[in-house]
Amino acid sequence: MKKLINNVDNVVDEMLNGMIAAHPDYVQRVPGTEVVVRTGNKKTDKVVLISGGGSGHEPAHGGFVGLGMLDAAVAGAVFTSPTPDQVYEAIQATECGKGALLIIKNYTGDVMNFEMAADMAGDEDIEVAQVIVADDVAVENSTWTTGRRGIAGTIFVHKIAGAAAEAGKDLAEVKAVAEKVIANVRSMGMAIDACTVPAVGKPSFDLAEDEVEIGIGIHGEPGTHREQISTADQTVDTLLDKILAEGIYGAGDEVAVMVNGMGGTPLSELYICNNRVAAVLADKGIKIAKTIVGNYMTSLDMEGFSITLLKLDDELKAYLNAPADTPAFTQF
């Protein structure tokens, strides 16, 4: 294993400290915790948004703390859910009387621990609501989930619900907007090489030189099947066919597109993949309102990518285009 780390036991702590050192105008760390909270352009009269999960998905989730997105992010150990106490610390550190919305990716540990934290906050008369993102069309159930996994589509939930909160919507309204995004967002990913968890020291699965893994998750888990490596266009078609088979995207619809790198894929290759996404959607009469390409929800050093489509209406489009300013996402 080759990693630019000092000690496997200190990866998350040193990563968070390095993040704070790089972006003090955006974020700060709650002392004694793995919680990153917003510092710049901070409002004190809004619904707060809190998300998080195991580390290893950077820039998610701390990179999306800031204006128009999250108010706090909670970092567990690599690919391990944060504890209820840590999530509760995030709620206490940010909630300002308007309530908190927890944005949870559908993994069993995340759901259980965030829900426990919500109960703890409720005991203190803090109003907490939650939404669960389950956008991965690859599998209906997996080793770590009941139902579909939550993957890169979570970023669109952060962005759009964050804009609604920034606009002064109340907790019920912000939750409703988040749920609308969840109902209209679908994703699927693939890998040409696995990631290596520092504490494990070896790849999470093995692929031959001519193999790819289709339908991977974001915790190094293998996908639905392996197949022989093909062109970028053919790979995009494989993923898009499954997403479009959901039946919620059709001619005349307007969508947002995310081509998301898994951590080890060059940006040039992501743009090649996006070129095919744009061509396929144009051929089907689906209009692209916005495209983002880059690393947003990664899996350490995994080589591969995912595609996310979000069907838009006027409300979602307006919030998607609203200002945001975070370490990993800036839009004005």
What are the residue numbers of the active site?
57, 219
Residue 27 β-bridge partners: 38
H-type alpha helices, the chain: 11-22, 84-94, 108-123, 154-166, 171-184, 232-244, 267-283, 314-320
For residue 115, count other CB atoms closer than 10 A to its CB: 17
**Residue 188 has which token pair?**
């699927």
Q: How far apart are CA 105 and CA 134, in angstroms?
A: 7
Q: How far apart are CA 32 and CA 17, in angstroms?
A: 12
* Lookup result for tokens 């209820």: 84
Residues near 200 by beta carbon (within 8 Å), at least 6 away in sequence: none
DSSP state for residue 43 in the 8-state scheme: -
Contact 12, 78 (CB under 8 A): yes
Residues near 74 by beta carbon (within 8 Å), at least 6 away in sequence: 34, 35, 50, 51, 52, 53, 61, 82, 86, 87, 89, 90
Torsion of CA 220, 225, 229, 234, to 10 degrees: -110
For the purposes of burial, counting CB atoms within 10 Å of the CB of 174, is it exposed (0-12), middle (13-18) or buried (19 or more)?
A: buried
136 CA to centre of own chain: 11
For the purposes of burial, counting CB atoms within 10 Å of the CB of 241, is it exposed (0-12), middle (13-18) or buried (19 or more)?
A: exposed
